[in-house]
Amino acid sequence: MTGITEHLSAVRDRAREAAEHAGRNVDEITIVAVSKQQPADAVQAAYRAGLRHFGESYVQEAVPKMDALRPLDAAWHFVGRIQGNKTRPIAERFQWVHTLERERIARRLSDQRPFHAPPLKVLIQVNLGDPRKAGVAPEEAADLAAAVASLPRLELRGLMTIPPAGLDERATAAYFDRLARLRGTLEDSGLSVPDLSMGMSGDFEAAIAAGATLVRIGTSIFGERGTRSSPVPEQTGGGERT
């Protein structure tokens, strides 16, 4: 696991520089280390290096890692496609969900959130480009946000997006700006929308410039995925749109 500490300090330097350049305080920005397809010992190494927020895309892969880190005060963020039949372990085991797209799933997560746990923090995934890809259209975000805000066991936190592949730097910056403006629109309508989850290894500086508060970073911290003895992700094909 050598390398994680060095990688992380390089990521922190890049984040600090981007924040300073944008006139922002780097403390407003949380690094979510996306540990999908990385083994539990890599997550432990990242924890020892100071990270406390971890992102996972597959429930079955995440749970053993959570168990391995159970005594530690790590916060787990679900950043994958939510399958209708996997909401219970998400509601029970995660603190954050970045990828909500449907009100029915929101209601289920609220119903299944354990009473002893604080409300599940939820971000709505917005798609500002290709409508066939994951995420709600910007026009649908307000209704879904209002629905989340009204559910007792969910806490509306914000919006999340993944830009389409292949955008140049300028188009990526413009894309992130659009999500930030959508957040402003929702806040003008009276909703509390404190977070913007945007930016990955290749574009997190641009996301920070546009106002990201959560950056989801995998390979820049852990290296390439699946190069160590990593668990095999569960199948995600087909049935997720229940």
Ligand X SMILES: *Cc1c(COP(=O)(O)O)cnc(C)c1O
Binder among 7, 36, 113, 157 for ligand X (CB under 6 A) = 36
Residue 11 or 106: the one with the smaller Cβ distance to ligand X is 11
135 belongs to the binding site for ligand X (CB under 6 A): no
76 within 8 A of 94, measured Cβ to Cβ: yes
Q: Which residues contact 48 (CB under 8 A, 6 or more apart)?
A: none
200 belongs to the binding site for ligand X (CB under 6 A): yes
What percent helix, strand, coil does the chain show, rounded to 5?
45, 15, 40
Exposed e or buried b for every residue in 182-211, given b needs 16+ CB within 10 A? bbeebeeeebebebbbbbbbebbbbbbbbb
Least distance between ligand X and beta carbon 57 (Å): 5
Binder among 15, 51, 79, 148 for ligand X (CB under 6 A) = 79
171 belongs to the binding site for ligand X (CB under 6 A): no
191 belongs to the binding site for ligand X (CB under 6 A): no
Kindly list the distances between the CA atom of residue 173 and the CA atoms of 182, 199, 206, 207, 218, in Å, as whole numbers in the listed order. Answer: 14, 10, 6, 7, 20
Give the number of residues in contact with ligand X, rule: CB under 6 A: 13
Residue 165 or 242: the one with the smaller Cβ distance to ligand X is 165
Cβ neighbours of 172 (radius 10 Å): 21
Binder among 158, 211, 218, 233 for ligand X (CB under 6 A) = 218
Segment lying near ligand X (by CB under 6 A), choices 3-11, 19-27, 147-155, 196-204 = 196-204
Least distance between ligand X and beta carbon 100 (Å): 13
Least distance between ligand X and beta carbon 67 (Å): 21
44 belongs to the binding site for ligand X (CB under 6 A): no
**Which residue spans within the chain are E strands per DSSP?**
30-34, 53-56, 75-78, 96-100, 120-125, 154-160, 195-197, 214-217
* CA gap 135, 138 in Å, rounded: 9
Residue 112 or 201: the one with the smaller Cβ distance to ligand X is 201
230 belongs to the binding site for ligand X (CB under 6 A): no
Binder among 38, 57, 83, 161 for ligand X (CB under 6 A) = 57
Q: Which chain residues interact with ligand X by CB under 6 A? A: 34, 36, 57, 79, 162, 200-202, 216-220
